[in-house]
Structure 1
Amino acid sequence: MKRFLIFIVSFTLIYLLLQILSGFILTVMYSPPIENAKSSITSEVTFGRASYIPFLIGLVASTTAYMASKKIEKSE
């Protein structure tokens, strides 16, 4: 049970950190298309495309959490 709690807590913290970091990077790098500035306001909504970034963030977070839980387990 202790191993499970260590893994869940470390996974949650690492996943949250990576999501905030990727959101910050995506926000900083975003530049709206110039054609949106020329057009008048319309009721049409443009949605983004599907991304594999959340999957990669989850994979990195779970791997790092697994390694951290193993390291904490060895030190005890």
Structure 2
Amino acid sequence: MKRYIAFLISFILLYMFFEVISGSVLTALYTPDLYLVSNSLNGEVLFARPSSFFFLGILFIATLAYFFSQKLFREPSK
């Protein structure tokens, strides 16, 4: 069980690191279309709601991968 918890914690930290780095890169490389910006000067801003569904799905898949890897690569008992 300790190995599973260590796996989950490292997975969560790596996932969050990847999200921050990819978000930073995407933000740095974003170039807005000035034509679209000039047409919508009403000041209305829409934000998408963050969803934890994708994170929970990835966490579930990682859990399955961990258990399958433990079952497949288990050393034969002596």
TM-score under structure 1 length normalisation: 0.52
Identity rate, percent:
37
Is the partner of 1:18 in helix, strand or coil?
helix
Q: Which has the larger helix fraction? A: 1
Measured in 2, the distance between the counterparts of 1:37 and 1:26 equals 19
Aligned residues: 55
Aligned to 1:74: none
What are the ranges of 5 or more consecutive residues in structure 2 without an aligned counterpart? 48-53, 67-78
Amino acid corresponding to residue 21 of structure 1 in structure 2: I
Residue 43 of structure 1: CA displacement? Answer: 7.8
| Bigger radius of gyration | 2
What are the ranges of 5 or more consecutive residues in structure 1 without an aligned counterpart? 48-53, 67-76
Aligned to 1:21: 21
- Call closer, same or farther: CA 1:40–1:24 in 2, change over 3 Å: closer
RMSD over aligned Cα atoms: 2.9
Runs of 4 or more off by more than 4 Å in structure 1? Answer: 42-47
